[in-house]
Structure 1
Amino acid sequence: MPVNERFKELIKVLSFTPNSLSKELNVTQPTIKKLEKGETLPNAKVLIPLLERYNVNINWLLGGQGKMFLDGEESSIDKTDSSNSRNSTCTDVKLLNDKIALLEQSIKDKEKLISMLEKNQK
């Protein structure tokens, strides 16, 4: 299942509309529409709040690995977590940022390859 299909499934499970999700994540409605259509991948501005507020498993969203939610439930992270949980979340965010950087580099590499192929066809 592509990322955009998992994203649409997540919106449905969390009982958001694209409009309400855009407000919740503080992003534009066109951003949500592009994510739903698969025109773009979720960036840190989308992924980090999904992880922190709703415990969304980013590995599931981006790669289809594991369950939709880290704890297997549709719940927000308890704001009274112990410092161990906060440290774990910080580690998750760092790993997430690293994964996003790799995805962005992969996109740039593919764009360069497409450009080279287009030049060779001329």
Structure 2
Amino acid sequence: MSIKERLREAMDAKGLTIKALSDLSKIPYRSLQNYLRGEREPNAEALVALSTHLNISIDWLLTGKGEAAGVEKAQPANQEQHFNQSDLKLLELLNQLEPEVRKELLRGAEEKQRMIDMEKQLKELSAAFDRLKNTG
């Protein structure tokens, strides 16, 4: 499924027309039309607005992985998500890549996070083992 198809799915799940989403997100109507036709892909600011107003993750919109359309994000609705310039630049660069390259980068980032989590668990287990060894 492509970005345009996921965007349409998210809009349908919320019962939003292009005009309604345009009014809500402040994304120009014409831009939304272009996204839905597959003529353009959303830039970083548009991705943030779409994520916020459709309650979807940017990862899901870009790659189809992660939270699906219509699923509320874990973040409370009254709490805004803040992105710094570095975050927005990264999103802009990712948006310019081909979908397969984005998927590959996402898989690499997920693998890196799994390694970090495993290293943390290993350190915790090692510390627990040392404590047990020293008490016995």
Counterpart of 1:45 in structure 2 is 45
Deviation at 1:91, TM superposition (A): 6.0
Counterpart of 1:117 in structure 2 is none
SS where residue 67 of structure 2 aligns? Answer: coil
CA RMSD, Structure 1 to Structure 2 (Å): 3.1
For 1:15 and 1:60, the matched residues in 2 are separated by 19
| Long gaps (5+) in structure 1 | 108-122
With 15-24 and 90-99 compared, the bigger mean Cα shift is at 90-99
Deviation at 1:24, TM superposition (A): 1.0
For 1:11 and 1:20, the matched residues in 2 are separated by 10
| Long gaps (5+) in structure 2 | 99-136
Aligned-residue sequence identity (percent) comes to 24
Deviation at 1:102, TM superposition (A): 3.1
With 37-46 and 91-100 compared, the bigger mean Cα shift is at 91-100
Which amino acid is the alignment partner of residue 46 of structure 1? A
Which amino acid is the alignment partner of residue 39 of structure 2? E
Measured at CA, do residues 28 and 52 of structure 1 come closer, stay the same or move farther in structure 2, by a change above 3 Å?
Answer: closer
Counterpart of 2:18 in structure 1 is 18
Instruction: Tell me the number of residue pairs that the alignment of Structure 1 and Structure 2 aligns.
Output: 98
Counterpart check, 1:73 vs 2:77: no
SS where residue 67 of structure 1 aligns? Answer: coil
Q: TM-score, normalised by structure 1?
A: 0.63
Which amino acid is the alignment partner of residue 101 of structure 1? L
Contact 2:56 2:72 in 1 (8 A): no
Which amino acid is the alignment partner of residue 33 of structure 1? Q
User: Where has structure 1 moved over 3 Å in runs of 4 or more?
Assistant: 52-55, 74-77, 89-97
SS where residue 73 of structure 1 aligns? Answer: coil
The structure having more radius of gyration, on CA atoms, is 2
Contact 1:54 1:77 in 2 (8 A): no
Measured at CA, do residues 69 and 4 of structure 1 come closer, stay the same or move farther in structure 2, by a change above 3 Å?
Answer: closer
